[in-house]
Amino acid sequence: MKTLKIKIATLSLALATAGILGSGCNSLTKTQKGAAIGAGAGGTVGAFIGKAAGNTALGAIIGGAVGGTAGAFIGRNMDRQAAEIKQTVPGATVTREGEGILVKFDSGILFDTDKADLKPAAQANLQNLAKSLQNNQNTNILIVGHTDDTGSDSHNQDLSVRRAESVKSYIVADNVSGSRLTTSGKGESEPIADNTTAAGRAQNRRVEIVIVANDQMKQQAKQSAQ
């Protein structure tokens, strides 16, 4: 019973925090929101919010937030890199979230149907993304593969993993250290649209690339806040 009460209290705090951020921070910049998330919720609750929302990418960004003045320092760095990626990677959707960046590719840009080999057009996009990652060394990168719900769960899970690994391999081959990159395949488990429509399934077939501060940037941020 005590454990259940703790879980309920944690969920209540997470939902309350999410509500505050959603309704009261519309006028804030992404950098300011990043500071608020870390200072108000903390990394543990942030990770819980991401997990509860069924969103691995969001959990990675919020869960790693340091918040406060240090978080604002990180946010400014991410603002600059996000602008760079938007300018140089036209095939991607680039979103600033908290203290991180979410780069999303629809799988149709990267892969043929049911394949994990990168298309020629994808390679140009990933080359430009790799240049930005080279220019901004103090970051870690998570690559998350997703599918729609067509086919078996096991097939979709395997396909999402192979697609994430293909993206990682190409970026590493473009002189980005493999130690900075991790991959995750979520199969059909984290849809962002309705799988009962062709348009919805197309949105769900995607690769998300999450860019967050590494320990060195976090340390610089904390020093700047002193």
Write down all domains in the chain, each with its CATH number in brackets: 68-224 (3.30.1330.60)
pLDDT bracket for residue 94 (50, 70, 90): very high
Residue of higher predicted confidence among 196 and 15: 196
Give the per-residue pLDDT at 101.
97
DSSP code per residue over 94-133: EEEETTEEEEEEEHHHHB-TT--SBPHHHHHHHHHHHHHH
Q: Are strands 100-106 and 139-146 parallel, antiparallel or unpaired?
A: unpaired
The 10s digit of each residue's pLDDT in 1-56 is: 444 334 333 433 444 444 434 444 444 454 444 444 444 444 444 445 555 557 89
The average pLDDT across 75-95 equals 96
The 10s digit of each residue's pLDDT in 117-176 is: 999 889 999 999 999 999 999 999 999 999 999 999 999 999 999 999 999 999 999 999
Q: State yes or no: pLDDT of 199 exceeds 60.
A: yes
Report DSSP state, residue 185.
Answer: E
The average pLDDT across 182-203 equals 96
Q: State yes or no: pLDDT of 178 exceeds 50.
A: yes
Q: Considering only 3-12, 172-181, 213-222, which range has the smallest mean pLDDT? A: 3-12
Give the per-residue pLDDT at 160.
98
> CB within 8 A of 164, min separation 6: which ones?
143, 144, 145, 183, 184, 185, 207
